[in-house]
Amino acid sequence: MIGTGTATGARPAARRRRWWSALPGLWVLGVLGWALLDPSGAQPVQFLAVAPALACAGTGRRLCLLLGAACVLLALVPLGPVGGGELIGRLGACSAILAVVTAGALATARRRRLTLELARAREVAATAQEALLRSPPPRLDGLALAAGHLSASEGALIGGDLYAALATPYGVRVVMGDVRGHGLTALGTVAAMLGSFREAAHYEPELGGVLRRLERALQRHLRERARAEHPAAGGEADHLAAEEFVTVLLLEVRPDGEVAALNCGHPWPYRLHARPGGAGRVTVETMGETLPPLGMFPLPAELPAAGAAPLPTGDALVLHTDGVEDARDATGRFFPLGPALARAARGAPIVPADVITGVRAALLRHTGGRLADDAALLVVRNDRQRVPTGSGVVHLAGTGRCGG
């Protein structure tokens, strides 16, 4: 699964911490050198108060207290002849150092409390992520799967992208969607859509029925949100919640290997073709007409028949949100998802988890770790094989490989 964090900034952060740890000591040495070497005999002891402030800002309370005590002693030690006015200046410097140490210790304690609260909030977010956007199992009814996402909101674990895969009486059903916007404001819509899909996928015999259930769930959620945000707005069309929409791609991998699809404004999946020695061509799979996103217009009374295409054994479909292909680098160049998939799928067989990991690394390199929109990927590989029976009837069976 794609993680929400990135290790690309770990080494620079460690270097910054080492630099901050050394900076207060370097500052003290600089002040002492100035005091000893200045031919005018000046005693710049008041500048020693800066060192504890630097220690508190960069390292912590313990170093701040230790460095503060050392600076007080240094401020009281004369490095030359001491006059009455200089003694008063040294006492004033000691008072300033003590004030800085006290303020720094209080600020550090408050920062530590805020850090602990942030850590607890991240734990709660991680729990919510597992409950809301569950990772699909590595294997599901003869298919190998892997999925993951990256949130564009700093510090957020989940955003406006959604995906799920379920084994149902009608085959394995998969949903990939993208809620307008990202971050915490989109979570309510994500929860409504996923809850409806997990219920409808098991009981609706046709994909069209699942899609209509998703539309009703979205409309109900938006009405409730409009009333919660502004009771007087009710369900008025010009309310902010009425501007929400969701792109949705529904897939159904049937027992015979056929893949049916209904698409409401979502990018079509890529297809990785298996071949000896690694993945072959990478193409975009289109399976029928594309409808408008849910929420923009009502679904037509007669839905188009779900398009269908075969998915041979070993081939894989890569579902994604537009945050992947629309990601840009510093020069404005879009992320080349097709070539990234070809590089990530080298080797045999196609391993969904490796595809996810490879595209994630390439995407973070391309954007420098700064995403403008949430990004999600889901890879489905067909592991079913046609097995001849004694009666000559051919049926499908899982290969038993785990590659997810």
**Considering the domain boundaries, does residue 35 fall inside one?**
yes
Residue 393 — pLDDT band, cuts 50, 70, 90? very low
Same structural domain, 173 and 113: no
What kind and span of H or E run contains 263? strand 258-264
pTM of the model: 0.69
pLDDT (0 to 100) of residue 146 = 94
pLDDT (0 to 100) of residue 3 = 47
- Domain of residue 63 covers 7-124
130 bridge partner residues: none
What CATH number has the domain bearing residue 145? Answer: 3.60.40.10
**Considering the domain boundaries, does residue 235 fall inside one?**
yes
Q: What is the mean pLDDT of residues 365-390?
A: 81
As given in the structure block, the two tokens for residue 297 are 């217009």
Contact 235, 251 (CB under 8 A): no
Report the number of distinct structural domains present in the chain.
2
Q: Supply the mean pLDDT for the chain.
A: 77
Same structural domain, 255 and 115: no
Contact 143, 381 (CB under 8 A): yes
Same structural domain, 69 and 209: no
Same structural domain, 194 and 161: yes
The one-letter code for the residue type at 267 is P
**Considering the domain boundaries, does residue 144 fall inside one?**
yes
**Considering the domain boundaries, does residue 59 fall inside one?**
yes
As given in the structure block, the two tokens for residue 123 are 């734990």
Residue 370 — pLDDT band, cuts 50, 70, 90? confident
Q: What is the pLDDT of residues 155-180, one digit of tens each?
A: 555 667 899 999 999 999 999 999 88
Judge whether residue 126 has pLDDT over 70.
no
Characterize 157-194 residue by residue with b for buried, 16 or more Cβ atoms within 10 angstroms of its Cβ, and e for exposed: bbbbbbbbbbbbebbbbbbbbbbbbbbeebbbbbbbbb
- Give phi and psi for 143, each to the nearest 5: -115, 150
Same structural domain, 223 and 274: yes
Same structural domain, 202 and 307: yes
pLDDT (0 to 100) of residue 10 = 44
Same structural domain, 44 and 186: no
**Considering the domain boundaries, does residue 169 fall inside one?**
yes
Q: Of 87-91, 275-279, 362-366, 392-396, which range is least confident?
A: 392-396
Q: Of 119-128, 184-193, 253-262, 268-277, which range is least confident?
A: 119-128
Picking from 27, 65, 25, the residue whose alpha carbon sits closest to that of residue 46 is 27
Contact 352, 403 (CB under 8 A): yes
Picking from 55, 48, 52, 14, the residue whose alpha carbon sits closest to that of residue 31 is 48
